[in-house]
Structure 1
Amino acid sequence: MQLTYYGHASFSVVINNKHILFDPYITGNPAAKGINPDDLKADYILVTHGHGDHVSDLIAIAKRTGAKVIAGAEIADWLNAKGIENVHPLNQGGFVDFEFGELRAVNAIHSSGLPDGTYGGNPLGFVINTPEGNFYAAGDTALTMDMQLIPYWSTLDFALLPIGSNYTMSAADAVIAADFIKCNKIVGIHYNTFDIIKIDAAAAKALFEKAGKTLLLPEAGTTIDI
C-alpha cells in the first residue's frame, strides 16, 4: 500500500487502485508549500472532523473530482447544503463496506466545528480493513481507553496517530496508544505545522524505538510504501 503525506494531518492511500484522501488541508497549510490541491487525486475523501485545518480544500476537491465524501452526519449535512451530494454520512457504529474495503468510525476525543461556525458533530477516527492491509487513522484525538477495542476489530499493519500534543496526544501518549491498538508501525501526524505543536522529532523517534516500535515521519509531498 502506498501512502502520500501532505503535511499536518492530510494524507492519501491507494487501495485497489482507489485514491483515498484524508482531511484535505493544503490551502493555508504552512507544511504543504509546493503542493497544489488541484493535483490531488481522490475517489473517496474521509473527514475526521470539521476544523479548518482538516477541511480547507474539502469542498473544492470534492467538486473537482466527484469523490464520495465519508464523514460524520453533521458534516455530511453541511456538505449537502454546500451542493456536495456524493456523501456517505456515518457515526460510531459497525463496519460499512466500500469499494476499497470495510470502514468503521470510532471515537476520537477532540472537538469539531466547521469554518463557518456550523456545529461539526462528533470527531471520529477510522479503522479500515482491506485486502491490501489494515490501518487506523486516529484523526485528532487525545489518548483514550476506547483504543483498546480496536484489536477486537482489526489486526493493524500500521496506524496514523497525532503526536504534536496541546490539541492532541503527545508522542509519549502515542506510544501508549500504539500498545492499546497492538500496532508497532506508526505514522506521526498533526505536529510541527505551527509553533504550538512543534516537537523534537529525534526524541519522539527515540521514544518509539525504546518501546520496540517504529515512528515514521515522512516529509510533506513524499510517498512511502507501507
Structure 2
Amino acid sequence: MATELQWLGHGSWLIQTNGTRIVLDPFLDDSPVAPVKSHQVQAEYVLVSHGHFDHIADAEKIAKANQATVISTYEICEWLAKRGVEKTHGMNIGGSYTFPFGRVKMTPAVHTSMLPDGSYGGVAAGFLLTLPEGKVYFACDTGLFLDMQLIGQEGLTLAALPIGDNFTMGPEDALQAVKFLHPKMVVPVHANTWPLIAQDVHAWAERVYKETAVKAVVLEPGESLTLQ
C-alpha cells in the first residue's frame, strides 16, 4: 500500500499511510496559503513539532473533531490535555514509539517553542517516521546542525526541509542539510507563506540537482507525492 504525503502549505502535511491519516503541524484556518481548512481534515493522529502558532494553531480543533491522538512533546501534550484534548502521547527528543501506522522518533530541532498563550512548550522537535515504504524525516522548524549526519545514517527516503530563512534555515544552510542527510528525495517547505520568508524554491531545487545526487521535488500547497 502506497504512502501519500500532501503538503498543506507552510509546515503542514497530511500523510495517508497503512490505512491511517496523520496531520503534521496543522496551520490551516489562518494560513494565507493552505488549500483546506481545519474542518475539512480527517485524521486519526496529529503530530505537533513545537508550540508556535503557525504549527499548532489547529491541532486542538482537529484532535477534538476527530477524536485523534496528538503526538508531541510532553509539555505540549499536557497543555492540550488541560484544554480538553482526550488522547495524547507525549514524547521527548531521541525517544521513539511504534504506533499502528509505523514508528515515530522525535529528533532534535534547533529552534524555540512557546505556546500561543505564552506557556512553556518544551523543546522544539522534528520527526522521523518509519513507514512501510521507507523513512521520512520532517525537520520541521530548525537551523542547521551537524547531527543531521546521524539522522541521514538512517537511510532516508524523503526529507522535508525548511528553506525560508529568518525563522529557520535559509537556502544555503538547507542545501548543506541535504548534503548531511543524503535522502533519496527532498521537499522544500516553510517558505513563501509571507514576504518575510519568500524564497525561489525552484532555484533552490536546481542547486540541489547540480550539487548533489538527491532528487528535489517542489510542491505547491495542496499537491502530493507518493512513496511506493
TM-score (norm 1): 0.95
Which residue is equivalent to 2:112?
111
Whole-angstrom distance in 2 between the partners of 1:225 and 1:107? 26
Q: Is the 8 A contact 1:172 1:207 kept in 2?
A: no
Any unmatched runs of 5+ in structure 2? none
- Code of the aligned partner of 1:105: M
Any unmatched runs of 5+ in structure 1? none
Task: Extract structure 1 runs of 4+ deviating beyond 3 A.
Answer: none
Whole-angstrom distance in 1 between the partners of 2:6 and 2:16? 9
Whole-angstrom distance in 2 between the partners of 1:50 and 1:94? 19
Which residue is equivalent to 1:205?
205
Whole-angstrom distance in 2 between the partners of 1:188 and 1:205? 8
Whole-angstrom distance in 2 between the partners of 1:218 and 1:102? 25
Which residue is equivalent to 1:87?
88
RMSD: 1.2
* SS of equivalent residue, structure 1 residue 14: strand
Whole-angstrom distance in 2 between the partners of 1:76 and 1:94? 15
Whole-angstrom distance in 2 between the partners of 1:150 and 1:209? 21
Q: Is the 8 A contact 1:45 1:67 kept in 2?
A: yes
Q: Is the 8 A contact 1:178 1:184 kept in 2?
A: no
**Could you tell me how far 1:205 is from its partner in structure 2?**
1.5
223 and 60 in structure 1: CA distance in 2 versus 1, 3 angstrom threshold: same
Which residue is equivalent to 1:24?
26
Deviation string, structure 1 residues 169-209 (Cα, Å, up to 9, x no partner): 11221121112122141111100001110002232122111
* % same residue: 39
Whole-angstrom distance in 1 between the partners of 2:222 and 2:152? 31
Whole-angstrom distance in 2 between the partners of 1:6 and 1:115? 21
TM-score (norm 2): 0.94
In the alignment, is residue 176 of structure 1 matched against residue 176 of structure 2?
yes
Q: Is the 8 A contact 2:6 2:15 kept in 1?
A: yes
Whole-angstrom distance in 1 between the partners of 2:48 and 2:164? 19
